[in-house]
């Protein structure tokens, strides 16, 4: 059993490719304006004009400016990589392998964009309130993936606890370190080891 993945399926046709180009242009122009004048000072109308589309076209792709910033283009890539992992490996090992595979698929430009997006979410006061909603969304996504791989229910308390641990660990690191695959792998390996944490001996400064 596999999770229904966004973006999975046959190769997109011409119409779908045009729509994806328009969506990408809107996001690229939005983030250019965010860099130049700030997220709060940038309007939907300015983004639409910069992308050479109408505001109504903008709203066909994104319900709001906030949703444009929150949209995670890494999700479908990660989901496909997870779906490719054999069911005989543990969920944590599957996440680790999928992380490596997913980031290998990203171009330097795509990785730079995602890094900038994460930085914006955690630095702009107007967007920080959306982080709680992102946590809930990611918690539910991870729960669905783990349930699919284990044959258990997504609301099983052990499934939810597992999803909460991995989602919370990643969220905690994102807030203090640059976004990277190494960051995700570090969380996965820490959890797989049983979260060993002991008292760190003070360094000798004499």
70-79, 167-176, 179-188, 195-204, range with the lowest pLDDT: 195-204
Mean pLDDT, range 132-141, rounded to an integer: 86
For residue 7, the model assigns a pLDDT of 44
Per-residue DSSP letter, 194: T
Q: Where are the domains of the chain?
A: 12-68, 72-194
For residue 204, the model assigns a pLDDT of 59
For residue 34, the model assigns a pLDDT of 95
Select the more confidently predicted residue: 117 or 6: 117
Burial of 166 (0-12, 13-18, 19+ CB in 10 A): buried
1.10.10.60, 1.10.1270.20, 3.40.605.10, 3.90.180.10: CATH of 12-68: 1.10.10.60
* Gap between the Cα atoms of 158 and 160, Å rounded: 5
Could you write out the DSSP letters of every residue in 73-136? THHHHHHHHHHTS-TTS-HHHHHHHHHHHHHHHS-HHHHHHHHHHHHHHHH-HHHHTHHHHHHH
Average pLDDT, the chain: 86
For residue 118, the model assigns a pLDDT of 87
- Radius of gyration for the alpha carbons in the chain, expressed in angstroms and rounded: 19
> Quick check: 39 pLDDT over 70?
yes
Name the CATH topology of 72-194: Tetracycline Repressor; domain 2 (1.10.357)
Could you write out the DSSP letters of every residue in 28-63? HHHHHHHHHH-TTT--HHHHHHHTTS-HHHHHHH-S
Residue with tokens 């180009």: 21
Select the more confidently predicted residue: 19 or 179: 19
> Quick check: 182 pLDDT over 60?
yes
pLDDT digits (tens, 9 = 90+) for 63-109: 999 999 998 888 889 889 999 999 999 999 999 999 999 999 988 89
Q: How many CB atoms lie within 10 A of CB 26?
A: 23
The angle subtended at Cα 46 by Cα 43 and Cα 50, nearest 5°, is 145
Percent of the chain with pLDDT over 70: 90
* Gap between the Cα atoms of 44 and 30, Å rounded: 8
* Gap between the Cα atoms of 139 and 168, Å rounded: 8
Q: pLDDT band at residue 202, thresholds of 50, 70 and 90?
A: low
Say yes or no: do domains 12-68 and 72-194 share a fold.
Answer: no
* Gap between the Cα atoms of 121 and 44, Å rounded: 17
Q: What is the pTM of this model?
A: 0.75
């Amino acid at each position: 059993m596999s999770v229904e993945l966004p973006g999975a399926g046959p190769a997109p046709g011409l119409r779908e490719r045009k729509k994806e180009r328009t969506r990408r242009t809107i996001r690229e122009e939005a983030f250019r304006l965010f860099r130049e004048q700030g997220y709060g000072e940038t309007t939907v109308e300015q983004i639409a004009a910069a992308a050479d589309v109408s505001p109504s076209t903008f709203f066909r792709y994104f319900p709001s400016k906030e949703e444009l910033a929150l949209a995670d283009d890494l999700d479908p890539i990660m989901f496909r990589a997870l779906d490719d992992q054999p069911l005989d490996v543990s969920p944590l090992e599957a996440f680790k392998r999928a992380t490596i595979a997913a980031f290998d698929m990203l171009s330097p430009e795509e990785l730079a964009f995602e890094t900038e997006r994460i930085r914006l979410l955690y630095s702009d006061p107007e967007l920080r309130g959306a982080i709680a909603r992102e946590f809930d969304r990611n918690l539910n996504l991870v729960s669905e993936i783990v349930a699919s791989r284990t044959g258990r229910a997504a609301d099983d308390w052990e499934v939810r606890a597992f999803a909460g641990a991995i989602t919370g660990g990643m969220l905690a690191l994102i807030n203090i370190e640059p976004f990277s695959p190494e960051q995700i792998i570090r969380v996965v390996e820490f959890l797989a080891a049983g979260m060993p944490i002991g008292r760190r001996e003070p360094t000798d400064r004499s």
